[in-house]
């Protein structure tokens, strides 16, 4: 298959690509192309690795915005201690997936009806501003239900090496650290059920030392703020931000080192946090590697000495792979010719999508086995921020199928 870039070991084989024991061509036959296949065995492995590495008693939540496919959320939810959501739509998916799940709801701009649905559903609302706190209290009063409210803190530090920074600056997310205790005191006085702190400092970091340092700083901040409130927070959600390797040269985070660092930080935590529970929340790290986007070559063409494989998919399904979703420099996602034999000769080609825009380039001048119409291209690392984070309505193509590969029972 000769892939370009780092691909998950489960997909690395000599012959044509298999996913969950079935050939890519077999999957394509079931779902037509283009399509996504998510291998749940990889998610289960991730869950087990997290359990093994993280301190005992730490809750691990799945942030479903990374992949909100209802069937996937339902399959993945039992592997984790809670679901993090970012909209009323995700609330409905989470409630369906796991009735009674511990749900926490973050995100700016929550509408009153979303706040009400969250309160009715028993979710914890992570407050992003003082104004939202008052709207949530009013919603609770209208419903006659005590709202569960946590204060999301805009920390005075950021996660180093993070692809998306969420702290250390003016922000639409969270309440500035200097104001957080005041909001917590206010909601406690108003009779709400204060669930504690939510502190999320960044996303997609591959810098193990930076993650350890940020988690330690987060535990310290949670203690300092709790002392200001004078009440112990039941839960401290420490965020996450563990990245995954997408590009040649990227190295995976060291889970054991992160778990060890967190255990040390918890050992020396402030007295007021003695009885608090702690959680981390991860999206990309849990599902990013389980997904493969399969798209079929429609045309092979030459232009001014370069070879293009024109496929039936594109950035409308897999925006991130085209380098147009939060990337500064376009680099190639790992790709392969899924139908190629191990000994196929290679060439330099670009894989372009079927949209009428020069942005629609899934791989730029990569070395791949020689391929032509009918062959399947696999784009890896498609399990997180894939279809749901892409402009699927652009140009009116059909929605791709999303299929699940369930682990084979042994």
Ligand X SMILES: *Cc1c(COP(=O)(O)O)cnc(C)c1O
Q: Which of 36, 64, 65, 335 binds ligand X (CB under 6 A)?
A: 65
**Cα(61)–Cα(84) distance, integer angstroms:** 7
Least distance (Å) from ligand X to the CB of residue 327? 14
Chain positions 86 to 125 lying near ligand X, rule: CB under 6 A, are 86, 106
- The answer to the question of residue 282 lying near ligand X (CB under 6 A) is yes
User: Per DSSP, what are the bridge partners of residue 379?
Assistant: 293, 335
- The answer to the question of residue 283 lying near ligand X (CB under 6 A) is yes
Task: Indicate the residue whose CB is closest to ligand X.
Answer: 283
DSSP character at residue 242: B
- The answer to the question of residue 159 lying near ligand X (CB under 6 A) is no
Least distance (Å) from ligand X to the CB of residue 116? 21
Q: Which is it for the CA torsion 399, 29, 8, 238, positive or negative?
A: positive
**Residue showing tokens 């372009």:** 352
- The answer to the question of residue 232 lying near ligand X (CB under 6 A) is no
Q: Which of 98, 110, 148, 284 binds ligand X (CB under 6 A)?
A: 284
Least distance (Å) from ligand X to the CB of residue 70? 18
User: Per DSSP, what are the bridge partners of residue 38?
Assistant: 291, 404
CB–CB of 257/216 below 8 Å? no
With CA atoms as reference, report the closest residue to 333 among 206, 249, 253, 247. Answer: 247
Q: Which stretch binds ligand X (CB under 6 A): 27-35, 200-208, 290-298, 356-364?
A: 200-208
- The answer to the question of residue 235 lying near ligand X (CB under 6 A) is no
Cβ neighbors of 188 (< 8 A, separation 6 or more) are 194, 229, 231
383: alpha, beta or left, given left = phi > 0 and alpha = psi -120 to 50?
A: alpha
- The answer to the question of residue 203 lying near ligand X (CB under 6 A) is yes
Residue number with CB closer to ligand X (148 or 361): 148
Least distance (Å) from ligand X to the CB of residue 335? 22
Q: Which of 66, 181, 190, 219 binds ligand X (CB under 6 A)?
A: 66
**Cα(337)–Cα(344) distance, integer angstroms:** 10
CB–CB of 11/17 below 8 Å? yes
**Cα(328)–Cα(350) distance, integer angstroms:** 20
Q: Which segments of 123-248 does DSSP mark as H helices, in order?
A: 130-143, 177-189, 208-229
Least distance (Å) from ligand X to the CB of residue 202? 8
Least distance (Å) from ligand X to the CB of residue 237? 8
Residue number with CB closer to ligand X (78 or 326): 326
Rounded to the nearest 5°, which phi and psi values hold at 128?
A: -100, -10
Q: Which stretch binds ligand X (CB under 6 A): 199-207, 222-230, 316-324, 365-373?
A: 199-207
Q: Which stretch binds ligand X (CB under 6 A): 60-68, 323-331, 367-375, 401-409?
A: 60-68
Q: Which stretch binds ligand X (CB under 6 A): 62-70, 111-119, 128-136, 245-253?
A: 62-70
Residue number with CB closer to ligand X (33 or 67): 67
Query: Checking DSSP bridges between strand 291-303 and strand 202-205, what pairing results, if any?
Result: unpaired
Residue number with CB closer to ligand X (217 or 371): 217
- The answer to the question of residue 132 lying near ligand X (CB under 6 A) is no
The count of chain residues that interact with ligand X, using the rule CB under 6 A, is 17
- The answer to the question of residue 204 lying near ligand X (CB under 6 A) is yes
Indicate the burial class of 122 (C-beta count within 10 angstroms; 0-12, 13-18, 19 or more). Answer: middle
Q: Which of 16, 68, 82, 240 binds ligand X (CB under 6 A)?
A: 240
**Residue showing tokens 């420099």:** 329
- The answer to the question of residue 278 lying near ligand X (CB under 6 A) is no
User: Per DSSP, what are the bridge partners of residue 56?
Assistant: none
**Residue showing tokens 């504690």:** 196
Query: Checking DSSP bridges between strand 291-303 and strand 376-379, what pairing results, if any?
Result: antiparallel
- The answer to the question of residue 200 lying near ligand X (CB under 6 A) is yes
- The answer to the question of residue 46 lying near ligand X (CB under 6 A) is no
- The answer to the question of residue 285 lying near ligand X (CB under 6 A) is yes
- The answer to the question of residue 151 lying near ligand X (CB under 6 A) is no
Query: What is the H or E stretch that residue 90 is in?
Result: helix 88-97
Q: Which of 19, 63, 238, 319 binds ligand X (CB under 6 A)?
A: 63
With CA atoms as reference, report the closest residue to 308 among 405, 224, 373. Answer: 373
Residue number with CB closer to ligand X (21 or 326): 326
Binding site for ligand X (CB under 6 A): 63, 65-66, 84, 86, 106, 200, 203-204, 240-241, 281-285, 384
């Amino acid at each position: 298959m000769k892939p370009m870039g780092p691909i998950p070991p489960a997909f690395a084989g000599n012959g044509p690509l298999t996913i969950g024991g079935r050939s890519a061509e077999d999957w394509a036959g079931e779902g037509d192309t283009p399509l996504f296949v998510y291998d749940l065995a990889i998610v289960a492995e991730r869950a087990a690795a997290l359990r093994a590495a993280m301190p005992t008693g730490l809750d691990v939540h799945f942030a479903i915005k990374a992949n909100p496919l209802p069937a996937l959320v339902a399959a993945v939810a039992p592997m984790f201690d809670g679901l993090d959501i970012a909209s009323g739509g995700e609330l409905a998916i989470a409630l369906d997936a796991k009735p009674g799940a511990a749900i926490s709801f973050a995100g700016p701009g929550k509408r009153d009806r979303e706040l009400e649905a969250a309160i009715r559903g028993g979710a914890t609302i992570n407050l992003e501003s003082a104004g939202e706190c008052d709207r949530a209290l009013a919603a609770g009063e209208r419903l006659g239900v005590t709202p569960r409210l946590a204060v999301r803190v805009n920390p005075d530090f950021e996660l180093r090496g993070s692809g998306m920074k969420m702290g250390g600056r003016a922000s639409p997310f969270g309440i500035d650290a200097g104001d957080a205790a005041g909001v917590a005191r206010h909601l406690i006085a108003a009779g709400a059920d204060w669930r504690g702190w939510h502190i999320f400092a960044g996303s997609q970091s591959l810098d193990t030392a930076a993650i350890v340092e940020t988690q330690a700083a987060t535990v310290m901040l949670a203690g300092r703020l709790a002392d200001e409130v004078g009440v112990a927070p039941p839960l401290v959600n420490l965020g996450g931000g563990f990245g995954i390797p997408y590009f040649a040269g990227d190295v995976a985070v060291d889970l054991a080192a992160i778990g060890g660092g967190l255990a040390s930080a918890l050992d020396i935590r402030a007295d007021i946090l003695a009885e608090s529970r702690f959680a981390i929340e991860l999206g990309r790290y849990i599902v990013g590697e389980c997904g493969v986007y399969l798209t079929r070559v429609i045309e092979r063409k030459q232009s001014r000495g370069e070879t293009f494989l024109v496929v039936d998919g594109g950035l409308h399904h897999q925006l991130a792979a085209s380098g147009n979703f939060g990337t500064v420099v376009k680099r190639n996602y790992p790709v392969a010719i899924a139908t190629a034999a191990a000994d196929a000769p290679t060439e330099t080609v670009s894989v372009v999508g079927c949209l009428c825009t020069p942005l629609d380039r899934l791989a730029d001048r990569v070395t791949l086995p020689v391929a032509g119409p009918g062959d399947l291209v696999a784009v890896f690392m498609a399990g997180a921020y894939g279809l749901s984070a892409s402009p699927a309505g652009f140009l009116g193509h059909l929605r791709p199928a999303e299929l699940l590969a369930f682990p084979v029972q042994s």
